[in-house]
Amino acid sequence: MGSLDDLAVFLSVCEMRGFRAAAKRLGLSPSTASDRIVQLEKRLGVPLLIRTTRSVVPTEAGHVLANRLLPVFAETRAALQDAASSHRDVRGLLRLNVTGAVMVDILPPLLDRFLHDHPGIRVELVVEDRLVDIAAAGCDAGIRYGEHLAQDMIAVPIGPPFQYLAVAAAPSYLDTRGVPGHPRDLLDHESIRLRFSSGALVPWTFERGEETVTVDPPGRLIIGVDAADAAIGLACRGLGVIATFENWLRPSLDSGALRPVLVDWWTRFEGPHLYFSDRFMPSPLRAFVDLVQAERLSAAALARAPDCV
């Protein structure tokens, strides 16, 4: 009914939404990838893809077939990676679907150590803020914050156990415009807002005791989270108040380029989690989970250790 190679081409076209991108990933020409799909459709006697000038999307039959094939191919890939690996020499591809928030200072140092410890492993990062089905996206695991974790998944904390939504502005700005005393005062200030790749603005929600306040200033500047460093730099130049992860702002706060605002209202929330299915754990993912857990235990031990004079 169809070779495994043809089915692999079909799945890649579905994921990449086009023949050219799928062919590039598979090392084929676009015409070869298209011919394979045509032959597969002829053998099955049913169209699998709807082709337009802008994109390629699966038909209903194609969607059903892809959903049934994905777990089979994921298990096959995991089995092949495990067969190619030994306890001391882990090989293969680790594909992670991650939110952009962990790409600034949480994930890079972990990847640095991981790639150093496992030279036979390759890592591919798919960075997006919307929650996706990691199996359908062809990924081994995802990294999201607690409120956006997929159900029926194993979740392992990664990075700091807690983070804060912090507010700050340049001293020059605060000297000119005044210091906000309440979150609602932010509506009268110039603000620098960050926007997720999904299109939603990062919410400004603050808590103090039992009181929760959400404000939605229009934002004189709105910048995608992928350019958070640029947004922080503009805040340091006095262009407005910014609210974002405290760990992102910390270098500028420590240097004095930014001054903390409304500290009593900073919202604390759980740090991110690495999540994955308990059905498949290829050896590269297992090695990465081991590293994440080891780093977590090491950080906990340091936190418990008494300060040395």
Residue that wins the pLDDT comparison between 264 and 78: 264
d(CA 23, CA 33): 6
Residue that wins the pLDDT comparison between 77 and 113: 113
Question: Quick one: pLDDT at residue 185?
Answer: 95
Question: Quick one: pLDDT at residue 8?
Answer: 87
d(CA 174, CA 236): 11
Choose the weakest-confidence range: 10-14, 83-87, 254-258.
83-87
Taking Cα atoms as reference points, which of 68, 70, 97, 95 lies closest to residue 81? Answer: 95
Question: Quick one: pLDDT at residue 225?
Answer: 82
d(CA 294, CA 230): 33
Q: What is the pTM of this model?
A: 0.65
Question: DSSP per residue over 70-131, as a string?
Answer: HHHHHHHHHHHHHHH--SS---EEEEEEE-GGGTTTTHHHHHHHHHHH-TTEEEEEEE-SS-
Question: Quick one: pLDDT at residue 86?
Answer: 53
Question: Quick one: pLDDT at residue 73?
Answer: 81
Question: Quick one: pLDDT at residue 254?
Answer: 96
Question: Quick one: pLDDT at residue 306?
Answer: 54
Read off the tokens for 195: 């926007």
Longest CA span, the chain: 77
Q: What is the pLDDT of residues 42-60, one digit of tens each?
A: 988 899 998 877 778 899 9
Domains and CATH numbers, the chain: 1-72 (1.10.10.10), 90-159+271-309 (3.40.190.10), 162-270 (3.40.190.290)
Return mean pLDDT, the chain. Answer: 86
Read off the tokens for 96: 């992670």
Query: Strands 204-208 and 211-215, how do they pair?
Result: antiparallel
Overall average pLDDT of the 128-134 stretch:
75
Greatest mean pLDDT among 10-14, 94-98, 130-134, 254-258 lies in 254-258
Q: How confident is the model at residue 148 (pLDDT cuts 50, 70, 90)?
A: low
Supply angle C-alpha 149, 154, 160, rounded to 5: 65
Overall average pLDDT of the 116-134 stretch:
85
Question: Quick one: pLDDT at residue 255?
Answer: 96
* CA separation, residue 68 to residues 7, 63, 148, 153, 269 (Å): 11, 9, 25, 19, 37
Read off the tokens for 53: 């000038």
Question: Quick one: pLDDT at residue 308?
Answer: 45
- Report yes or no: 129 and 99 within 8 Å, Cβ to Cβ: yes
The helix (H) or strand (E) run that includes residue 218 is: none
Greatest mean pLDDT among 52-66, 70-84, 130-144, 239-253 lies in 239-253
End-to-end Cα, the chain, rounded Å:
72
d(CA 87, CA 74): 21
Question: DSSP per residue over 153-213, as a string?
Answer: -EEEE-S-SEEEEEEEE-HHHHHHH---SSGGGGGGS-EEEEE-TTSPBPPEEEEETTEEE
Paired residues of 163 in beta bridges: 269
Question: Quick one: pLDDT at residue 127?
Answer: 86
Q: What residue type is 267 in one-letter code?
A: T
Residue that wins the pLDDT comparison between 290 and 308: 290
Overall average pLDDT of the 153-161 stretch:
88
Instruction: Say what angle helices 246-255 and 228-236 make with each other, to 10 degrees.
Output: 30
